[in-house]
Amino acid sequence: MSNPLPHTPLRLGIAGLGTVGASVINILHGKADVLAAELGRVITVAAVCAREPGKDRGLDLGNAFWFADPVEMAQSSEIDVFVELMGGAGNPAKAAVEAALNAGKSVITANKALLAAHGQSLAALAESKNVALLYEASAAGGIPVIKILREALAGNAVTKVSGILNGTCNYMLTRMEIENLDFATCLSEAQRLGYAEADPTADIGGFDTANKIAILTSLAFGTKIDVDAIYIEGIASITSLDIKMTDELGYRIKLLGVAERTPAGIEQRVHPTMVPKTSPLAQVMGVTNAVTIDADAVGQLTLIGPGAGGDATASAVIGDIAEVAKGLTGPVFRLPSTQLERAPRAAMQRHEGGYYVRLNVHDKKGAFAAIAARMAQMNISLESILQKGNKNTTKGTGLAIVSVPVILITHATTEAAIREALENISSDGVLDGSPQVIRIERG
Ligand SMILES: NC(=O)c1ccc[n+]([C@@H]2O[C@H](COP(=O)([O-])OP(=O)(O)OC[C@H]3O[C@@H](n4cnc5c(N)ncnc54)[C@H](OP(=O)(O)O)[C@@H]3O)[C@@H](O)[C@H]2O)c1
């Protein structure tokens, strides 16, 4: 004999019926019985909201109330939980989330832009109302990294979080490597196939990854979210020669978001990074995401999975719904918002690590010696020097300049030293164009 379900249904109001919202509704309908059994409570979609009321979405919305205004829905007595799946750092997402929290309703969102910009104040509001603000889908999509950092790693001192957090960039870097494509061709291919947006700036410029690493930094270190502290460099400067050379050297290039505790403070950075081919992150190809966490008790663990897509993202949203259904609340980030510290910010100039430097060096006597001398002047020791690729000829107003691509791999040094050495080399007049610099993560 089955017991009657003890609780009243949990009534959701879902704002946003696009890729993620539609998948959430389909999974909730398809798995209604399983979820009710697992949670001891029926989950209902009591209200929905989107921009276009008449649009055929192929969704069974049952008897759900339709709201044209997400703020109105957030305050409605018809719902217990507000699920924000519209996107955007500003209104209506912000106003609606605030309205729901002020009305004492728990909120679930997939919105990294909102969290990165307003996470602190929204967390304070949720905690003051003793309701949940959950956002598992906001970083690394279907990978439950937020629950791992906030709950499963309780008591661990996290030292570093590094991740492939943008599927578009990883897809492009993978295709550039496998098919030997240049960046522009690869981007237009990715746009044609729907893997990159018409305006790809947020993805390829590293800004989407920055929003995600901002959230993960707060969870890892118990610090306030600080997007302005993040050093951001996108992938647009990566050439097929860089991909080929890193491959020959035993590395792969990935756009990483990194948050790391260092003696100089907490580094937050997003940039193309050479990772050893043997590392877990190097194995992650295509649109897949991955996060590696280093912590004192657990050591190192890597989570790999889908970072986007309707069903995978909905999986994370439904995990949050389950948490609310079970009545779990707690600090929104690792610590209560009043206890989150301002992250001691480590200047990028103090970053230490190995570097890949590609220079187009004038094909003339003394050029190599000048470069080696400038590196030595900054105490930079070189692990290897490679001269690969074809000679380039640049025709200016005067004589044609012939240059050759030269790749330097350094031992560990500082960002300040490498920048100064390269400025000096450029001022010596032995280079054609600007140097390419890619940071190496060896550990
Ligand atoms: N797609 C993914 O794979 C993915 C992965 C992780 C996280 N996310 C996050 O999930 C959220 C939703 O993404 P999505 O891909 O599902 O977006 P989407 O497909 O563009 O859908 C957005 C939905 O929000 C509705 N909407 C937009 N502005 C609105 C407004 N002013 N008032 C009412 N409704 C409004 C739209 O209504 P109409 O349908 O009527 O236009 C649409 O239904 C975003 O925060 C995104 O960053 C997405």
Give the domain CATH number at 162. Answer: 3.30.360.10
Q: Is the pLDDT of residue 314 over 70?
A: yes
CA gap 223, 333 in Å, rounded:
9
Residues 269 and 294 in one domain: yes
Beta carbon of 442 within 6 Å of any ligand 1 atom: no
Residues 184 and 286 in one domain: yes
Regarding predicted confidence, which is higher, 38 or 365?
38
Residues 20 and 61 in one domain: yes
Give domain status of residue 137, yes or no. Answer: no
Residue whose CA is closest, atom 44 of ligand 1? Answer: 87
CA gap 377, 337 in Å, rounded:
47
* Range 185-209 average pLDDT: 95
CA gap 67, 51 in Å, rounded:
9
Q: Please, what sign has the CA dihedral across residues 89, 93, 97, 99? A: positive
Give domain status of residue 265, yes or no. Answer: yes
Query: Residues with Cβ < 8 Å from 104, sequence gap 6 or more?
Result: 129, 131
Ligand 1 center to 111 CA (angstroms)? 9
Give the domain CATH number at 422. Answer: 3.30.70.260
Catalytic residue list contains 55: no
Contact 324, 10 (CB under 8 A): yes
Query: Residues with Cβ < 8 Å from 247, sequence gap 6 or more?
Result: 177
Give domain status of residue 167, yes or no. Answer: yes
* Range 97-124 average pLDDT: 97
Contact 142, 313 (CB under 8 A): yes
Beta carbon of 205 within 6 Å of any ligand 1 atom: no
Phi, psi of 342 (to 5 degrees): -70, 130
State which amino acid sits at residue 312: A
pLDDT tens-digit readout, 405-423: 999 999 999 999 999 999 9
Ligand 1 center to 109 CA (angstroms)? 11
What residue numbers bound the domain in which 422 lies?
351-440
Give domain status of residue 322, yes or no. Answer: no
Query: Residues with Cβ < 8 Å from 333, sequence gap 6 or more?
Result: 119, 123, 150, 218, 219, 222, 225, 340
pLDDT tens-digit readout, 33-44: 999 999 999 999
- Unique residue bearing structure tokens 């909730």: 28
Residues of the chain with pLDDT > 70, as a percent, come to 97
Q: Is the pLDDT of residue 442 over 90?
A: no
Of 88, 109, 130, the last residue of a domain is 109
Q: Is the pLDDT of residue 397 over 70?
A: no
pLDDT the model gives residue 1: 44
Q: Is the pLDDT of residue 6 over 60?
A: no
Q: Residue 329's pLDDT band (boundaries 50, 70, 90)?
A: confident
Q: Is the pLDDT of residue 3 over 60?
A: no
Ligand 1 center to 312 CA (angstroms)? 15
From 85, 109, 287, mutation site for ligand 1 pocket: most ligand atoms within 8 A of C-beta: 85
Give the domain CATH number at 39. Answer: 3.40.50.720
Q: Please, what sign has the CA dihedral across residues 113, 117, 119, 122? A: negative
Beta carbon of 50 within 6 Å of any ligand 1 atom: yes
Give domain status of residue 326, yes or no. Answer: no
Give domain status of residue 115, yes or no. Answer: no
pLDDT the model gives residue 443: 73
Ligand 1 atom with minimal separation from the 53 CA: 40
pLDDT the model gives residue 399: 66
Residues 298 and 357 in one domain: no
Residues 244 and 301 in one domain: yes
pLDDT the model gives residue 5: 56
Q: What's the structural domain count of the chain?
A: 3
Give domain status of residue 311, yes or no. Answer: no
Of 297, 314, 348, the last residue of a domain is 348
- Report the mean per-residue pLDDT for the chain: 94
Residues 287 and 375 in one domain: no
Ligand 1 atom with minimal separation from the 309 CA: 3
Q: Is the pLDDT of residue 7 over 50?
A: yes
Residues 161 and 293 in one domain: yes
Phi, psi of 162 (to 5 degrees): -135, 140
Beta carbon of 282 within 6 Å of any ligand 1 atom: no
Of 85, 109, 133, the last residue of a domain is 109
Q: Count of CB atoms within 10 A of residue 405's CB?
A: 21
* Range 65-77 average pLDDT: 98
Q: What is the pTM of this model?
A: 0.94
Residues 431 and 288 in one domain: no
Residues of the chain with pLDDT > 90, as a percent, come to 88
Q: Is the pLDDT of residue 390 over 80?
A: no
Residues 343 and 357 in one domain: no
Residues 344 and 361 in one domain: no
Give domain status of residue 327, yes or no. Answer: no
Pure H helices in 148-288: 167-179, 183-192, 201-204, 207-221, 240-248
Beta carbon of 306 within 6 Å of any ligand 1 atom: no
State which amino acid sits at residue 34: V
**Residue of 86, 331, 115, 91 whose CA lies nearest to 210:** 115
Q: Which of 105, 112, 160, 212 is catalytic?
A: 212
CA gap 170, 308 in Å, rounded:
12
Q: What angle do CA 64, 69, 75 make, to 5 degrees?
A: 75
CA gap 377, 413 in Å, rounded:
13
pLDDT the model gives residue 25: 98
Residues 203 and 340 in one domain: yes
Q: Please, what sign has the CA dihedral across residues 82, 83, 89, 92? A: negative
Residues 367 and 418 in one domain: yes
